[in-house]
Amino acid sequence: MIKLENISKYYHSEGMVTLGLRKVNLELPNKGFIVLTGESGSGKSTMLNVICGIDTYEEGEMYINGEETSYFDDSDWEEYRRKSVGFIFQNYNLIDSYTVLENVETALIIQNLKAKERKKRALALLKKVGLTNHVRHKATKLSGGEKQRLAIARALAKDSSIIAADEPTGNLDSKSGKQIFELLYEISKEKLVIVVSHNYEETKIYADRIIRLFDGEIVEDKEIKKEIDVEESRNFRIEAKRKRIPQSLILANKNLKSQPQKTGLLMMVSLAVTIIVFLVFMSFFAVDGLFGGFLRGESTNNYFPNNYEERLIVIKKDQNNFTTEEIETFTNLRYVDSLVKYSVILDQPIYFSEKKEINFSMERYYPLLLDTISQKDLKYGTLPTKDNEVIVCNSFTKKEAESLLGKTVYLYGTPGKNSYGPSTYLTEVVITGIIEPNLDDYLNYMYVSSSIFDTYYEDFSININKNKITYTDNSGEIVEFSVDATVDSSLVGNQVKISRGNFGTEGTNYYFNDIKVTIIYTEDYNSTIYISDELAALYITTETNQLTLNVRSHDYYNEVIRQIENLKGYYVFSPYDNSSSFSLLETIILVIYSIFAFAPIIIVVYIIAYLVIKTIMLSKKKDYTIFRTIGIDANSIRKMSQIEILLCFLFSYIIVAITFVLLQRNMEGEFARTFLNALKVDYYIIIFIANMLFGYLIARRYNKLLMKNSLLVNLKVE
CA dihedral 117, 123, 128, 131 (to 10 degrees): 160
Q: What is the number of alpha carbons within 13 Å of residue 613 lying toward its C-beta?
A: 33
Pick the closest to residue 487 from 553, 557, 425 (CA basis). Answer: 425
How high is the mean pLDDT in each 10-residue block of the chain (718 residues)? 92 83 92 91 91 91 92 88 87 89 90 87 90 92 90 86 88 83 89 88 87 93 63 36 64 89 93 89 65 47 80 93 95 94 91 82 88 90 95 87 92 73 81 82 86 89 85 84 86 90 74 91 80 91 92 90 93 80 59 76 89 90 85 86 93 91 66 61 83 91 79 59
- Residue 395 CA to residue 387 CA, distance in Å, equals 24
CA distances from 344 to 292, 382, 416, 458, 691 (A): 25, 28, 10, 11, 46
Q: What is the number of alpha carbons within 13 Å of residue 160 lying toward its C-beta?
A: 28
Pick the closest to residue 196 from 40, 30, 426 (CA basis). Answer: 40
CB-based contacts of 355, cutoff 8 Å, min separation 6: 410
The answer to whether the beta carbons of residues 549 and 329 sit under 8 Å apart is no
- DSSP E strand stretches across 14-82: 16-28, 32-38, 59-64, 67-68
How confident is the model at residue 636, as a pLDDT?
A: 86
B/e letters for 659-696, b = 16+ CB within 10 Å, e = fewer, are: ebeeebeebeeeeebebbbbbeeebbeebbebbeebbe
pTM of the entire structure? 0.61
How confident is the model at residue 489, as a pLDDT?
A: 86
37: how many CB neighbours lie within 10 A of its CB?
Answer: 21
CB-based contacts of 456, cutoff 8 Å, min separation 6: 342, 345, 348, 350, 367, 413, 426
Pick the closest to residue 546 from 361, 356, 268, 327 (CA basis). Answer: 327
Cα radius of gyration (the chain): 43
* Three-class secondary structure of residue 163 per DSSP: strand
CA distances from 89 to 20, 84, 148, 718 (A): 20, 16, 8, 12
386: how many CB neighbours lie within 10 A of its CB?
Answer: 10
The answer to whether the beta carbons of residues 107 and 157 sit under 8 Å apart is yes
How confident is the model at residue 683, as a pLDDT?
A: 78
- Residue 158 CA to residue 155 CA, distance in Å, equals 6
The answer to whether the beta carbons of residues 188 and 31 sit under 8 Å apart is yes
> Cα(first)–Cα(last) distance of the chain, in Å?
31
339: how many CB neighbours lie within 10 A of its CB?
Answer: 18
User: Pairing relation of β-strands 529-531 and 485-487?
Assistant: parallel
- Residue 224 CA to residue 213 CA, distance in Å, equals 17
How confident is the model at residue 479, as a pLDDT?
A: 85
Q: Which long-range contacts link 176-181 to residues 24+ away (Cβ below 8 Å)?
A: 176/143, 176/144, 176/145, 176/148, 177/202, 179/145, 179/149, 180/145, 180/148, 180/149, 180/152, 181/206
The residue type found at 595 is I
How confident is the model at residue 358, as a pLDDT?
A: 75
- Residue 236 CA to residue 234 CA, distance in Å, equals 6
Question: What is the per-residue DSSP string for 637-659?
Answer: HHHHHHHHHHHHHHHHHHHHHHH
How confident is the model at residue 675, as a pLDDT?
A: 61
How confident is the model at residue 294, as a pLDDT?
A: 44
The residue type found at 272 is A
How confident is the model at residue 575, as a pLDDT?
A: 87
**CATH 3.40.50.300 applies to domain 2-243:** yes
Helix or strand (DSSP H, E) at 340: strand 336-340
Domain ranges of the chain: 2-243, 258-294+583-717, 345-461, 467-537
**Residue 583 dihedral angles phi and psi, to the nearest 5°:** -75, 165
CA distances from 187 to 31, 127, 241 (A): 9, 14, 25
CA distances from 226 to 193, 210, 491 (A): 15, 12, 128
Helix or strand (DSSP H, E) at 146: helix 144-157
The answer to whether the beta carbons of residues 266 and 644 sit under 8 Å apart is yes
Pick the closest to residue 424 from 515, 349, 339 (CA basis). Answer: 349
Question: What is the per-residue DSSP string for 484-534?
Answer: -EEE-TT--TTEEEEEHHHH-S--EEEEETTEE-EEEEESS--S-EEE-HH
